[in-house]
Chain A
Amino acid sequence: MNVSKAALWRSLTWAAVVTASLFLSGCGQGVPDVDEGVERGILLAGNGAEPKSLDPQRATGVTENKIISSLIEGLIAYHPTDDTLPEPGVAESWEPNEDASVWTFKIRDDAFWSNGDPVTARDFVYSYQRMLDPAFPGEYAQMLYQLRNGEAYKTGEITEFSKVGVSAVDDKTLRMELVGPTPYFLDMLKHYSWYPVHPATIEAHGGPLDLSGEWTLPGNFVGNGPFVLEDWLPNQYIRVVKSPTYWDREMMRLNEIYFYSVEDVNTEKRMFDSGLLHTTSTVPTNDIPILRETRPDIIHIDPYLGTYFYRLNVTRAPLDNPLVRKALNLSIDRQAVVDKVTLGGQTPTRAYVPAGFNDYPTPDLISYDPERARTLLAEAGYPGGEGFPELYLLFNTSEGHRKIAEAVVDMWNTNLGINMQLENKEWKVYLDAQTHLDYDVSRSGWIGDYMDPVTFLEMFTTGNGNNDTGWSDARYDELIHKAFRSPNQEAHYASLLEAENILLDELPIVPVYWYTRIYLQDPRVRNWNPKLLDNRPYKYIYLSE
């Protein structure tokens, strides 16, 4: 008996010793906390999912963009406060011709790569040639179709790159000829698909067509941005440090940034609560109303250039009938959705393209009118929902999407007397169903790439890979085509506005709300301004008590 008791004590003591020694060896955290960060100029940022690629010409995601934009600088950079304004990046000045179809950029003399090489116009030509190479799988190559003959070169119609509208006049002068007048070209240039890559580095790691991504790993990466890549610990963090060669380094007050890959929103919240993050990428939905009440100083809700909507499969009855689509559109109480379900200060849509583009006159075309919706449905041959077939609303498995879908389906069923059901599928299965038009109604969202409404409207042209509704309208296609070639902003917007009116009259989609970016932030983070595209010019950000 006594020995058993002794054994018990022994094991208890042993367990305590192990725990204590582990604990003691763990004094200090191994990574800086927020106070140390403020002291030493280290920004600690939650950055969502693990980045897939740091090659600006292959990356596609928001998380990648945040990191890449700290490592590489394009001709035009992000403005610290206003997304609609151009901020000089590598280009110190630029000049369009009369109809904005030919642009000449003067590259600053003090722009250097992180290995000390000067940034030249030839680097840009090399980069764009890589992006447009028919064998290079850059997903955003389409952005560069704005260059004259860019598309023809990509599709192999022409084989001489010299015919593509980009050329180095001399080391520091870059000339770009576009497919037509592009008044919003500077906005496009902020997108990372237009960033340069360092030719010698690319050549040293398998050449322009190498897909291994070796050149993007720490030690290999050469960029020209305000920061250089120091560590990349997969599924932990990416650490970038202030570049010793960046032209504007004198004004920078941040020395380092940690981009934490944190996929779980609750883990991210705990990291913030325990002082490991200055800023998060998002906030758990359930915490939003509480934090808005109790901690308005740390919760930020900024407008964001994105639309949440439902696609309607117009190739299937009864959704092929515009009256039915109108009835569905009129019977969603969007205000209730944002007030009671999404809780993140989102804006109920008034149109499809989010409000906020400079001078684009967002139309006011969407309303809640169940009475009229019932009349339209009766006109379509389903009075009181009678004879209306059972339809399914498809969404990808997610608590957030489910809640919204439940609310919307309930509004439809109650207001129209129809029978709509929910159907959730795993992400890739859902994408597959959407692509093959194997759905009735499908949850969707779209985030703008740059500050022009065309980034929202182009996708619904006939045959566009992202249309996914089966809808097609010749006049709409023509207007979008025209918008791409408008000589000035007024004509450009006029075409787009007319196109949007057609879209919202035909309704292959039912917009629900405009996104907001919701995140937590330490009040000591300075110069972090609400940005519609959520682009961060890190060189301007600093930390101070």
Chain B
Amino acid sequence: MFKFIARRILQSIIVLFVITTVTFFMVHAAPGDPFSAERKMPEHIKQRLMEHYGLDKPEIVQYFHYVGSLLKGDLGPSHVETRSVNRIIGTTFPVSLELGSWALLIALGIGLPVGIIAAVFRNTLADYIPMSMAMIGICLPTFVLGPVLALIFGVWLGWFNVSGWFIPADRVLPALTIGLVYAAIIARITRGGMLEVLNQDFIRTAKAKGVPFPRIIFFHTLKGGLLPVISFLGPALAGIISGSFVVETIFQIPGMGRQFVQSAFNRDYALVMGTVIVYACLIIVANLLVDIVQVILNPRLRFEDS
């Protein structure tokens, strides 16, 4: 197990290095620069800004300089905003993390029970109705669901603020918007995973031996049935926590997803790099966690590893 984790961490460092390098040169290769605007600034002023941010030097020099300060934990100043990249990520990442956690809770809290019930009551209304709704949920994009929720619960009913991130209740609508979509996917994956296990021989054996049905579901089936959900959770976890540019924009949430997209539009090189690196770390860590959990849950994998 330890060897497995150590190997994965080593791989991750290489992956991170490659991502950093590729992103750096790609973002610098994009047309335009952080200071271009409809009303152009005078050339000597632009020159002065380029010097200030070190953008007048050859790209390879900039790259080594960037990696140097990155190793010291300094993501540099934003080229566009007043605050530094460390500070921007420091304030926006916790927001995205909190929103993502609520969304994940909703996704699992709804998706798992619905999926399990659908599998247990296969081919009955308790299967058809939730699964059809899940299909709709998967197809419904967040940019439709978000405004609809805001319109109904914010504007019409007045239960929640339509936007903002000021009080606990402000978490509800955006978390639902992200969470419901993932809940739908999780419900379908859970159902599939459960059904596959329910059809296996050892379940029939258990039934034949007279094990009570609830025990079969919760002790025998669930462990194997949830494996596909867990492998889905790796990328999903990163996707949920990294928030969503769309949901953050609809609900005016000061999260990192907006910084990520805006920085790319603004050619704010340092902020693009910072957000990409944080996201990369997030995805790597999420996948690592999922792999570890899978090894724990699935003895077959443990055997292969040794």
* Segment from B5-13, B36-44, B289-297 that makes contact with A: B36-44
Task: Tell which of B44, B88, B154, B266 touches A270, judged by Cβ atoms closer than 8 Å.
Answer: B154
The yes or no answer to A530 lying at the interface (CB within 8 A) is no
Chain B positions 33-67 with a Cβ under 8 Å from a chain A Cβ: 33, 36-46, 48-49, 52
Chain A positions 456-474 with a Cβ under 8 Å from a chain B Cβ: 465-466
| A29, A274, A427, A429 pick with most chain B CB within 10 angstroms | A274
Which range holds the interface residue count of chain B? 35 or more
Report yes or no: A26 in contact with B170, Cβ–Cβ below 8 A: yes
A125-152: contact bitstring with B at CB < 8 Å (1 yes, 0 no)? Answer: 0000000001111110110000000000
Chain B positions near chain A (C-beta within 8 angstroms): 30-33, 36-46, 48-49, 52, 77, 80-84, 88, 91-92, 105, 109-110, 113, 116-117, 120, 147, 150-151, 154-155, 158-172, 213-214, 217-218, 249-254, 258, 265-267
Closest chain-A Cβ to B41's Cβ sits at a distance in Å of 4
Closest chain-A Cβ to B202's Cβ sits at a distance in Å of 20
Report yes or no: A274 in contact with B161, Cβ–Cβ below 8 A: yes
Q: With A270-B151, A427-B265, A431-B38 as given contacts, are A52 and B169 in contact (CB-CB < 8 Å)?
A: no
Closest chain-B Cβ to A355's Cβ sits at a distance in Å of 22
Residues of A with C-beta under 8 A to B147: 266, 270
Q: With A26-B170, A30-B166, A213-B82 as given contacts, are A235 and B258 in contact (CB-CB < 8 Å)?
A: yes
- Identify 22 residue pairs between A and B in the complex whose beta-carbon atoms are under 8 Å apart, listed by A's number: A1-B213, A3-B214, A4-B117, A4-B120, A4-B217, A7-B116, A11-B113, A18-B109, A25-B167, A26-B169, A26-B170, A27-B169, A28-B167, A30-B161, A30-B166, A30-B170, A50-B81, A60-B37, A234-B83, A267-B250, A267-B252, A433-B31
Report yes or no: B162 in contact with A429, Cβ–Cβ below 8 A: no
The docked-state distance in angstroms from the alpha carbon of A216 to that of B82 is: 8
Report yes or no: B214 in contact with A30, Cβ–Cβ below 8 A: no
The docked-state distance in angstroms from the alpha carbon of A141 to that of B30 is: 29
| B31, B43, B80 pick with most chain A CB within 10 angstroms | B31
Interchain pairs with CB closer than 8 A, number = 180
Closest chain-A Cβ to B145's Cβ sits at a distance in Å of 14
Q: With A4-B116, A274-B161, A429-B31 as given contacts, are A29 and B109 in contact (CB-CB < 8 Å)?
A: no
The docked-state distance in angstroms from the alpha carbon of A53 to that of B32 is: 21
Closest B residue, CB atoms, query A261: B252
Other contacts beyond A31-B161, A155-B44, A428-B31: 20, CB < 8 A: A23-B159, A29-B164, A60-B37, A135-B48, A142-B42, A211-B52, A211-B77, A212-B77, A217-B82, A233-B254, A236-B252, A267-B252, A270-B147, A274-B158, A276-B164, A428-B265, A429-B32, A431-B32, A433-B31, A435-B36
Task: Tell which of B110, B265, B267 touches A15, judged by Cβ atoms closer than 8 Å.
Answer: B110
A29-69: contact bitstring with B at CB < 8 Å (1 yes, 0 no)? Answer: 11100000000000000000010111000001000000000
Task: Tell which of A234, A267, A466 touches B88, judged by Cβ atoms closer than 8 Å.
Answer: A234
The yes or no answer to A170 lying at the interface (CB within 8 A) is no
Closest A residue, CB atoms, query B45: A137
Report yes or no: A139 in contact with B116, Cβ–Cβ below 8 A: no
Closest 6 CB pairs between A and B?
A26-B169, A428-B32, A30-B166, A3-B214, A30-B167, A213-B82
Task: Tell which of A4, A31, A445 touches B166, judged by Cβ atoms closer than 8 Å.
Answer: A31
Report yes or no: A23 in contact with B113, Cβ–Cβ below 8 A: no
Report yes or no: B252 in contact with A262, Cβ–Cβ below 8 A: yes
Report yes or no: B214 in contact with A270, Cβ–Cβ below 8 A: no
The yes or no answer to A14 lying at the interface (CB within 8 A) is yes
Report yes or no: A23 in contact with B169, Cβ–Cβ below 8 A: yes
The docked-state distance in angstroms from the alpha carbon of A52 to that of B37 is: 13
Report yes or no: A11 in contact with B109, Cβ–Cβ below 8 A: yes
Report yes or no: B45 in contact with A267, Cβ–Cβ below 8 A: no
Report yes or no: B155 in contact with A270, Cβ–Cβ below 8 A: yes
Report yes or no: A2 in contact with B214, Cβ–Cβ below 8 A: yes
Q: With A211-B52, A271-B162 as given contacts, are A465 and B250 in contact (CB-CB < 8 Å)?
A: no
The docked-state distance in angstroms from the alpha carbon of A236 to that of B254 is: 6
Task: Tell which of A7, A22, A262, A276 touches B172, judged by Cβ atoms closer than 8 Å.
Answer: A22
Report yes or no: A139 in contact with B82, Cβ–Cβ below 8 A: no
Report yes or no: B82 in contact with A52, Cβ–Cβ below 8 A: yes
Closest B residue, CB atoms, query A213: B82
Closest B residue, CB atoms, query A263: B249
Report yes or no: B113 in contact with A8, Cβ–Cβ below 8 A: yes
Q: With A53-B82, A137-B49, A234-B83 as given contacts, are A432 and B162 in contact (CB-CB < 8 Å)?
A: no
Closest B residue, CB atoms, query A445: B38
